[in-house]
Amino acid sequence: MTSCIYFLVIFLSVCLTVFGQKFGLEQFNLVSYTQCRFDSDCVKISKNSFCFDNDADKIGNCKCRDGFDMVSRNRTFFACLGPAGYNEACEKNMQCQLILTENAECYNLACRCKDGAHLFTDGRCYVSVLLGDFCQSDGNCWMTGDNFGTCKFGRCSCKFDREVANEDKVSCVIGRDLGELCSNDAECTLTPNTQCRVSCRCAAGFVLSRNQTTCLSAATNFFDSCEETDQCSAFLTGSICTSNKCTCPEGFHGYSNRCIKSAAIGSSCSSTEECIPEAKYSDTVQCTGGTCKCVQGMISEMLGCNRGHNFAISLVGLIISIVFCRIL
Ligand SMILES: *[C@@H]1O[C@H](CO)[C@@H](O)[C@H](O)[C@H]1NC(C)=O
Ligand SMILES: *[C@@H]1O[C@H](CO)[C@@H](O)[C@H](O)[C@H]1NC(C)=O
């Protein structure tokens, strides 16, 4: 039984040796082909190696220290490759990535950060993210001059409170408030919906709030929501903000993009718009002779043009009244 195990061990070590020779020692990271008597014999060929399995009268083989990978070049030369930092010598991407993360590579025998990544102050490579885009850490927020922004609420931002991202998105500028002089739109982004026109102002389609600190969207239709009347009157002449909706004052109605005095059927008017809510009703009601009148033959209950106002029916009514008067 004991001899059986003994033979098995012999057999396995022979196999290992044969395969080791055949595929190169690199695969097993065991020992190099290089024979040695002292550690110095190995170190002069590659740093981080030592003479393994030698003693006073026995020749050993060079081996790499723990954490270093053996690469055999030929019968005598080998190298022990270990972790490499930024700009340090390397042969394989793996060496760089051990220290600099997977965003590093070995390029022209030196470690560097891959394209689209940058070295951060912690000595590692991070994917570069523009200001305003999604980030995971400050290391992503690379800016010109090897400055870094901060990753705030999951997005790259400028470090200081009054700073805003410049147009290039890799540098920060001091932000300007509404009304302050500016040189580009980016400087005005302290306030949303602004643009730079000599000074920071509300962008087209927005109006300055009463307290002059925000830009509110301007309504384009009656009944759009609002907080302040200026939002309504910007595009809808005469419109006011009532209960957070753009409407017209009492006694007026919205017609196209303005508020018009309302006139009922039979009331005095100076234009047809006063009599109708929309242009399409100008066939039904018109301002004639200074009065809102139903057009002959048109019926619209909504506008108050019912039978009573229909000429033919009125005539019948008149005849019936006359007949009644006679009877009485
Ligand atoms: C072995 O490799 C080294 C370094 O790569 C080289 O300088 C040397 O000439 C090679 N020797 C042989 C015998 O190929
Ligand atoms: C200014 O007005 C806007 C809109 O009404 C409001 O949202 C904002 O909180 C106000 N700001 C100040 C400082 O009062």
pLDDT: is 29 or 114 the higher one? Answer: 114
- Atom from ligand 2 closest to the CA of residue 227: 5
CB of 227 closer than 6 A to ligand 2?
yes
3 lines ligand 1 (CB under 6 A): no
What is the distance in A from the centroid of ligand 2 to the CA of 210? Answer: 8
Judge whether residue 101 has pLDDT over 50.
Answer: yes
Q: Please give the average per-residue pLDDT across 273-302, as a whole number.
A: 89
pTM of the model as a whole: 0.63
pLDDT at 10 over 70: no
Is the confidence at residue 328, as pLDDT, over 90?
no
Atom of ligand 1 nearest to the CA of 73: 2
What per-residue confidence (pLDDT) applies to 20?
Answer: 42
Q: Note the ligand closest to the C-alpha atom of 72.
A: 1
pLDDT at 17: 43
pLDDT digits (tens, 9 = 90+) for 171-208: 999 999 999 999 999 999 999 999 999 999 999 999 99
44 C-alpha to ligand 1 centroid (Å): 14
Alpha-carbon distance 41 to 32, whole Å?
A: 12
| C-beta 33 within 6 A of ligand 1 | no
Whether the CB of 71 sits within 6 Å of ligand 1: no
Q: 243 vs 298, which has greater pLDDT?
A: 243
Does residue 77 line the site of ligand 1, with CB under 6 A?
yes
| pLDDT for res 32 | 86
3-state SS string for the chain: CHHHHHHHHHHHHHHHHHHHHHHCHHHCCCEEEEEECCHHHHHCCCCCEEEECCECCECEEEEECCCCEEEECCCCCEEEECCCCCCCECCCHHHHHHHHCCCEEEECCEEEECCCEEECCCCCEEECCCCCCECCCHHHCEEHHHEECEEECCEEECCCCCEEECCCCCCEEECCCCCCECCCHHHHHHCCCEEEECEEEECCCEEECCCCCCEEECCCCCCCECCCHHHHHCCCECCEEECCEEECCCCEEEECCEEEECCCCCCECCCHHHCCCCHHHHHCEEEECCEEEECCCCCECCCCECHHHCHHHHHHHHHHHHHHHHHC
Question: Does the beta carbon of 192 sit less than 6 angstroms from any atom of ligand 2?
Answer: no
Going from N- to C-terminal start, the domains of the chain cover 2-81, 263-315
In this predicted model, which residue has the larger pLDDT, 210 or 327? 210
Lowest mean pLDDT across 77-81, 107-111, 227-231: 77-81
Q: How confident is the model at residue 297 (pLDDT cuts 50, 70, 90)?
A: confident
Is residue 5 over pLDDT 70? no
Q: Does residue 272 register a pLDDT over 60?
A: yes
Regarding predicted confidence, which is higher, 13 or 87?
87
